[in-house]
Structure 1
Amino acid sequence: MRLVRVALAMPLMHYFDYLIEPSAALDIGSRVVVPFGRQKRIAIVVEFPAQSDVAPQQLKRIISVLDATSVFSDELYALLKWSAGYYQTGLGEVLFQALPVKLRQGETAQSAVDAVWKILPQGKIALAQGELTRAKKQQQALQQLAEAAENGVLQREAEFSRAIYKALLEKKWIAEQHLFAQPEVWQTALQQHNWLNQQDKLRLNKQQALAVSAVCVSHGFQCWLLDGVTGSGKTEVYLHLMEHVLQQGKQVLLLIPEIGLTPQIVRHVENRFKLPIDVLHSNLTDSQRLLAWQRAKSGESAVVIGTRSALFTQFQDLGLIILDEEHDLSYKQQDSGWRHHARDLAVMRAKNNHIPLVLGSATPSLESLANVASGKYRHLVLNQRAMNSAVLNHKLLDLKKQRVDRGLSEQLIALMQQHLSKGNQVMLFLNRRGFAPILLCHECGWIAQCEQCDRPFTYHKKNNILSCHHCDRKTKVPRQCAVCGSTHLVTSGMGTEQLEAVLAEKFPDYGIARIDRDSTARKGALEASLAQITTKQSRILIGTQMLAKGHHFPDVTLVAMVNIDGALFSQDFRSEERLAQLYVQVAGRAGRGSKSGEVVLQTHFPQHPLLQTLLTQGYSAFAQQALQLRQTMGLPPFSAQALFRAKSKSNESAVEYLTALAAFFDDFCRKNAIQGLQLLGPIEALQTKKAGQYQWHLLLQHSSRAVLQHCLAQFSLRRHELNLNRYTRCILDVDPQDFN
């Protein structure tokens, strides 16, 4: 028998050995079905070892082989294996997460166009012996299959039901087979002139043309940072680069941070290219995602557009990766053991494929700007707004010096009226959904809060519920105070739902569109709202971060940020960078057409250094100041970090667990003469409790990424030696992006 080592879809760093016949067609990356305890599990082959640590008599046999060849291309398998090592995650967990759900469940990796039935020798014998005289339908179906024996198959679309064939199948008289599609070759359309919509193409300005030519004349792998102010025409640069690659018959992957940007970017690409385009995002069914994966792998798709997970799509001949809004936190996986960053893995995938990668942003991350400074990335700058867009006028409104009505200052209301009276649109940004963030008792000050998270419930007036935005727990609105019994319950603070109600009261003659996670939960709701904005049925726009990125609304001439003061004094060292990026992104929604635009920011702290730098010198100046400060303090990107996130129902258990980890690293560094590893913690997370679990952190930091990786790898190898309590769940987050 042949030894086979497999990985299971489990958060484990080790593998399992099984046996199989030497003649079985199998490869590294093939899926197999194995016995695991009392279950049957799907596993992925990772090695063919010469010997096993398990006694031969204890080894079990593989039940069946699902794929004769790997479901991963060589370059993608290499990327996933590297990623498992870098993020210190079990290879099985990584491999399975990179596959569509249907493939994790055992569905065929090939694209079947039809299922057909074939009669087996046992069926012919049964028919000849008259064993079905009492089952006329089954006999007739089997007879038809026998008559079609010269062709070997009978299409499923026969006159008999699925139940008839299933009965014959259970008797092992027939077999079900699949016919697989021959992929359509879209490259033949390139010989015609109608695959490219020339009328949709815009004339490039000098900076855009230089950016396109720089990427097109380069060969092999190169990472380009397309640093373009909002409205500078980055999308048009993307489309020209895609055209160049598609003309060569190669495929393109375009990544976007959020599903909310999908309709607009898909429309741009479909208008330009009359070629097969597939979209991958979380709103698709599992079957739709599998089909898109199959089409890309077979080469049927010319372009794949998708969110973070689309990075792991298989391609027949990938020629370009574009990652838009590269600074966006959505590219970092935050809710699984494999906490990877799609931007960083996109760099590795482009390198493995020897193809260019374009990272686009109006507010590049400090990590990417540091990579430009070190020569790892090439810098492309677009600092001119395309299509003769007017220059924006920035203004700070000091809330301390005027009357404020439910979050809106007198000056802001007056400005809105001015812009609306001219037939323009106005957009208000408030990064807080719901009606109000707090429901409290007016008599005693009691606050309705989630017992699982020790955080206030958010009041949603439309559905009359209290919702925890941390653990998603929902409850009915109480009729009276839980402490003093008073029925005088009031709200404090403002969310997008309340802002919509206030604006409807103050501007009853104008349509209002609210875009947040609540209002767009229903399928098609986002597209409907965007259509109302485009046709100007909605003149006032309210939104959270969903509306701040990528959208092009040429008639929006006033953008206002209603409440951002809380972000100015966060404990997270990345908070100022995120606020600066958010401000520039939101400001970029104004004045994108020929009309002049105005950006207003309401604040109680108009003299704050961050706001002053942004308004007077712009994001680039802020980024350089922030990089200098990070370097002085030894913070990323000038150091590497790893965060152990411990969760437990007991504070003591979480602290005990992380204390043991800290002792291990301290001892390891001392014995191996490793200097410079900083250990911070155990410390409480910024959100100390979530979903009934107390959260504690242990932060590791070192100026050398290689040294930190070495320490983490040694910990993974020796973790089983530590006497860690089993009441604590701990996740390792390499290159953490937040500390909640």
Structure 2
Amino acid sequence: MACILQIALDTPLDSVFDYRWPCEPGSEPLVGQLALVPFGRREAVGVIVAIKASSEVPEDKLKDALAVRGQLAPLSPQWLALARFAADYYHRPLGEVAMPGLPKNLRLASTVALDRALKKLAKLADDHDPAPVDMPALNPAQRQAADAIGGAQGFAPLLLYGVTGSGKTEVYLQACAQVLGRDHDAQILIMVPEINLTPQLEANIRARFPGVMLATLHSGLSEGERMLHWLAAHQGRARIVLGTRLAILSSLPHLKLIVIDEEHDPSYKQQEGLRYSARDLAVWRARQLAIPIVLGSATPSLESWHHAQTGRYRRLELRERAVRDAVLPRVKLIDMERDKPKEGLTSTLIAALRSRLERGEQSLLFLNRRGYAPVICCEACGWISDCTRCSAHMVLHRPERRLRCHHCSLEMRIPHACPTCGNIDLQPLGRGTQRVEEGLSALFPQARILRIDADSTRLKGSAQAAFDAVHRGEVDILIGTQMVAKGHDFKKLTLVGVLNPDTALFSQDYRASERLFAQLMQVAGRAGRAGLESEVLIQSRYCQHPLYGAVMRHDYDRFAGDLLEERHQAALPPFMYQALLRAEAPELATAIAFLESARDVLPTDAVVINDPIPMTMTRVHNVDRAQLLVESNSRPALQTFLTAWVDLLRAMKTRVRWSLEVDPLDI
């Protein structure tokens, strides 16, 4: 007797297809199992999402499924519900959500990699002993927070608001100990925004829970490693799973607690393909499973802060640093109009660096701009090193003797003379981390200087090796981008210098000030964590700006309150719900024309459909881009409109590439 398997495949449009399968008694396939099927001229692996007795597809067009992966336990109904919710909410095909969340080796036609991983996993030792070791004493605020998390029952969203260095990680670990001790099958998901934050936390977890299997899930793993760790989580053997945003789509059959560290970080939002928010999906998953979720940050997102103010989230606070005698660093502003910088550094900052070198303490210079200089120019005719494929400048990378576009990756040699007038005296404008490193080496030739950015840490393991060198005290001055701004505990660091933060003050992005404040507070928090007297020096030409005043006072509460009031008056998130339709075409006019048609295809009064405009970065890799913003003060109304709208957009005949993003972060 044949049955019909509905199988979700990773395809861009309709992604659920019907296939025949002989359903013999005692060997029926199960919903959630993986199946190998013919698809076009190739074979593909999909997940069975339903089993029916009949199909609406004509019998002569039905194909037979080739195999069902019986050696793997089915994905749970809760996991399938999560995939369906994400597909519906973000208006993507179900298969495009479900399949990329699985390891690549699991999606191969051959089962060799799967069988090998299952055998290897079966041999791994697993004490399954949740007893923690070396549990340090907590201060009263930490103990209250850990007990609130560990003792929470049912769906309980908790916002852990703690200043930098307040011991949020220790609260997470001791709350985890309570959950694991109470339920010997419990699984815990801990998420961090970036890969380079996983090694330090992984080491802490392994040291605290030596008898518990830990799995890590992030894009830095090899395919074999990711398969092994995913299977450990799927089988329930991994009691703690640590990962970046993709970990929210992992299979965790016994999930009892979710922890989102640095919940404010924009890295939790996927910016390509399925543009999902891992933080938001985590909250939905916690509600679905009726389990607690912790969102921790020293600078919570305004959305989470608003939820705490309105009672949707319970707020837990850590107002003091955890280390005895450790206080938040003093923050001072350096007026660059009065103290003119030399090589990008003011005399005040240079003197502070020198004093740290004399005392054997570490310093950090934060500049969120990699490369040597943002651009080179010809002072004779005004030529600038623009990218030929993008609406952007090519960045000078002097050590490599290259110009590089950070948007399309185009590279070229530095020209010997101006391409326009032939002038050989081309000058760099502005400063990146490479130029600051060069200037520091000239000022302090005896200092041990290390630069950590995307260019210096391209090789696998290089970032962790660099951070280990800082922790061992082998670095005097660290220069870094946002990679060094959060999550790292540098014991000997007592000085943070912030270079060139002013550009964010005048951005057209309404989230720019929120992000700058968070960035400054996070990087300032790297100083003085071990109790040493510390300070933060911010170089600025706009020292009277109220944002800097809030940073000096470490006053997130008032700053967030003022921003929320501004957002409310301007009808911006979290008081408004948005979706962004983007279009790409060889010519801007073509993209705009498509968006104009999209604007008019479904007249409605339920939402506001704005006029299409070019994107800020209009051209990338020889493609012009435009966008159209849809807004509503009702999330259900917006979702109802988008569901009908997307169907009409898919039916439109166009060569324009378009994509829809719900809850966009960058507009």
Normalized against structure 2, the TM-score is what?
0.95
Kindly indicate whether the alpha-carbon contact (under 8 Å) linking 1:110 and 1:180 is maintained by their aligned counterparts in 2: no
Q: What is the identity, as a one-letter code, of the residue corresponding to 2:666?
A: D
Q: What is the identity, as a one-letter code, of the residue corresponding to 1:75?
A: Q
The change in CA–CA distance for 1:358 and 1:737 in structure 2 (over 3 A counts) is same
Give, in whole Å, the separation in 1 of the partners of 2:69 and 2:462: 40
2:148 match:
214
Q: How many residues are paired up?
A: 660
Establish whether residue 548 from structure 1 lines up as the match of residue 485 from structure 2. Answer: yes
1:68-79 equivalence runs, <5 A: 71-79=74-82
Q: Which moved more, 1:102-111 or 1:24-33?
A: 102-111
2:633 match:
703
How far apart are 1:223 and its partner, in Å? 0.9
User: Of the candidates 374, 386, 407, which is equivalent to residue 437 of structure 1?
Assistant: 374
The change in CA–CA distance for 1:269 and 1:185 in structure 2 (over 3 A counts) is closer
1:629 match:
566
Give, in whole Å, the separation in 1 of the partners of 2:95 and 2:72: 17
How far apart are 1:18 and its partner, in Å? 2.4
Kindly indicate whether the alpha-carbon contact (under 8 Å) linking 1:27 and 1:68 is maintained by their aligned counterparts in 2: no
Kindly indicate whether the alpha-carbon contact (under 8 Å) linking 2:30 and 2:74 is maintained by their aligned counterparts in 1: no
2:613 match:
683
Kindly indicate whether the alpha-carbon contact (under 8 Å) linking 1:29 and 1:69 is maintained by their aligned counterparts in 2: no
2:643 match:
713
Q: Per-residue displacement from partner, 1:595-639 (whole Å, max 9, x unpaired)?
A: 111011101111112222332461111001001111111110011
RMSD (Å) for aligned C-alpha atoms: 2.0
**Gap regions ≥5 residues in structure 2:** none
Please state whether the residue corresponding to 1:712 is helix, strand or coil. Answer: helix
Establish whether residue 370 from structure 1 lines up as the match of residue 306 from structure 2. Answer: yes
1:396-407 equivalence runs, <5 A: 396-407=333-344
1:224-239 equivalence runs, <5 A: 224-239=158-173
Give, in whole Å, the separation in 2 of the partners of 1:681 and 1:420: 56
Establish whether residue 306 from structure 1 lines up as the match of residue 243 from structure 2. Answer: yes
Kindly indicate whether the alpha-carbon contact (under 8 Å) linking 1:504 and 1:512 is maintained by their aligned counterparts in 2: yes
Kindly indicate whether the alpha-carbon contact (under 8 Å) linking 2:162 and 2:317 is maintained by their aligned counterparts in 1: yes
Give, in whole Å, the separation in 2 of the partners of 1:180 and 1:279: 14
**Gap regions ≥5 residues in structure 1:** 116-177
1:607 match:
544
How far apart are 1:649 and its partner, in Å? 0.9
The change in CA–CA distance for 1:688 and 1:242 in structure 2 (over 3 A counts) is same
The change in CA–CA distance for 1:344 and 1:482 in structure 2 (over 3 A counts) is same
Structure 1 or 2, whichever has the larger Rg, is 1
1:355-504 equivalence runs, <5 A: 355-387=291-323, 388-504=325-441
Establish whether residue 334 from structure 1 lines up as the match of residue 271 from structure 2. Answer: yes
How far apart are 1:61 and its partner, in Å? 2.0
Give, in whole Å, the separation in 1 of the partners of 2:153 and 2:622: 53
1:531-680 equivalence runs, <5 A: 531-616=468-553, 618-665=555-602, 667=603, 669=604, 674-675=605-606, 677-680=607-610
How far apart are 1:75 and its partner, in Å? 1.2
Please state whether the residue corresponding to 2:582 is helix, strand or coil. Answer: strand
1:737 match:
665
Please state whether the residue corresponding to 1:455 is helix, strand or coil. Answer: coil
Give, in whole Å, the separation in 1 of the partners of 2:394 and 2:165: 38
Please state whether the residue corresponding to 1:396 is helix, strand or coil. Answer: strand
Kindly indicate whether the alpha-carbon contact (under 8 Å) linking 2:146 and 2:174 is maintained by their aligned counterparts in 1: yes
Kindly indicate whether the alpha-carbon contact (under 8 Å) linking 1:111 and 1:180 is maintained by their aligned counterparts in 2: no
Please state whether the residue corresponding to 1:404 is helix, strand or coil. Answer: coil
Q: Per-residue displacement from partner, 1:386-431 (whole Å, max 9, x unpaired)?
A: 1121242111111011221121111111121122222211110000
Give, in whole Å, the separation in 2 of the partners of 1:533 and 1:607: 34
1:19 match:
20
Kindly indicate whether the alpha-carbon contact (under 8 Å) linking 2:15 and 2:96 is maintained by their aligned counterparts in 1: no
Q: Per-residue displacement from partner, 1:59-98 (whole Å, max 9, x unpaired)?
A: 2222232347764222111111111000001001001111
The change in CA–CA distance for 1:538 and 1:114 in structure 2 (over 3 A counts) is closer
The change in CA–CA distance for 1:494 and 1:524 in structure 2 (over 3 A counts) is same
How far apart are 1:460 and its partner, in Å? 0.9
Q: Per-residue displacement from partner, 1:160-218 (whole Å, max 9, x unpaired)?
A: xxxxxxxxxxxxxxxxxx7983775533x34xxxx5322xx322111111111112222
Q: Which moved more, 1:583-592 or 1:525-534?
A: 525-534
Give, in whole Å, the separation in 2 of the partners of 1:114 and 1:528: 28
1:5 match:
6
Establish whether residue 91 from structure 1 lines up as the match of residue 19 from structure 2. Answer: no
The change in CA–CA distance for 1:535 and 1:96 in structure 2 (over 3 A counts) is same
Establish whether residue 288 from structure 1 lines up as the match of residue 216 from structure 2. Answer: no
Establish whether residue 35 from structure 1 lines up as the match of residue 38 from structure 2. Answer: yes
Q: Per-residue displacement from partner, 1:20-68 (whole Å, max 9, x unpaired)?
A: 2232632223222222222222232223345544322222222232347
Q: Per-residue displacement from partner, 1:219-245 (whole Å, max 9, x unpaired)?
A: 122111000000111011011011112
The change in CA–CA distance for 1:82 and 1:465 in structure 2 (over 3 A counts) is same
How far apart are 1:500 and its partner, in Å? 0.8
Kindly indicate whether the alpha-carbon contact (under 8 Å) linking 1:113 and 1:181 is maintained by their aligned counterparts in 2: no
Give, in whole Å, the separation in 2 of the partners of 1:483 and 1:51: 70
1:162-311 equivalence runs, <5 A: 181=122, 185-187=126-128, 189-190=129-130, 195-198=131-134, 201-247=135-181, 248-249=183-184, 250-274=186-210, 275-311=212-248
Please state whether the residue corresponding to 1:322 is helix, strand or coil. Answer: strand
Give, in whole Å, the separation in 1 of the partners of 2:16 and 2:612: 31
How far apart are 1:711 and its partner, in Å? 0.2
Give, in whole Å, the separation in 1 of the partners of 2:630 and 2:112: 41
How far apart are 1:320 and its partner, in Å? 1.4
How far apart are 1:288 and its partner, in Å? 0.5
The change in CA–CA distance for 1:180 and 1:604 in structure 2 (over 3 A counts) is closer
Q: Per-residue displacement from partner, 1:506-558 (whole Å, max 9, x unpaired)?
A: 11111011111111111221222112211221110111000000101121111
Establish whether residue 347 from structure 1 lines up as the match of residue 283 from structure 2. Answer: yes
Give, in whole Å, the separation in 2 of the partners of 1:111 and 1:2: 26
Identity of aligned residues (%): 39
Please state whether the residue corresponding to 2:169 is helix, strand or coil. Answer: helix
Kindly indicate whether the alpha-carbon contact (under 8 Å) linking 2:308 and 2:314 is maintained by their aligned counterparts in 1: yes
Give, in whole Å, the separation in 2 of the partners of 1:733 and 1:53: 32
Q: Which moved more, 1:268-277 or 1:631-640?
A: 268-277
Please state whether the residue corresponding to 1:687 is helix, strand or coil. Answer: strand
Please state whether the residue corresponding to 1:186 is helix, strand or coil. Answer: coil
The change in CA–CA distance for 1:580 and 1:32 in structure 2 (over 3 A counts) is same
Please state whether the residue corresponding to 1:197 is helix, strand or coil. Answer: coil
Q: Per-residue displacement from partner, 1:77-124 (whole Å, max 9, x unpaired)?
A: 111111100000100100111111111224549964699xxxxxxxxx
Kindly indicate whether the alpha-carbon contact (under 8 Å) linking 1:438 and 1:448 is maintained by their aligned counterparts in 2: yes
Please state whether the residue corresponding to 2:284 is helix, strand or coil. Answer: helix
Kindly indicate whether the alpha-carbon contact (under 8 Å) linking 1:561 and 1:600 is maintained by their aligned counterparts in 2: yes
1:149 match:
none
Give, in whole Å, the separation in 1 of the partners of 2:92 and 2:209: 39
Please state whether the residue corresponding to 2:332 is helix, strand or coil. Answer: strand
Q: Which moved more, 1:84-93 or 1:278-287?
A: 278-287
Give, in whole Å, the separation in 2 of the partners of 1:413 and 1:482: 38
Q: What is the identity, as a one-letter code, of the residue corresponding to 1:3?
A: I
How far apart are 1:686 and its partner, in Å? 1.2
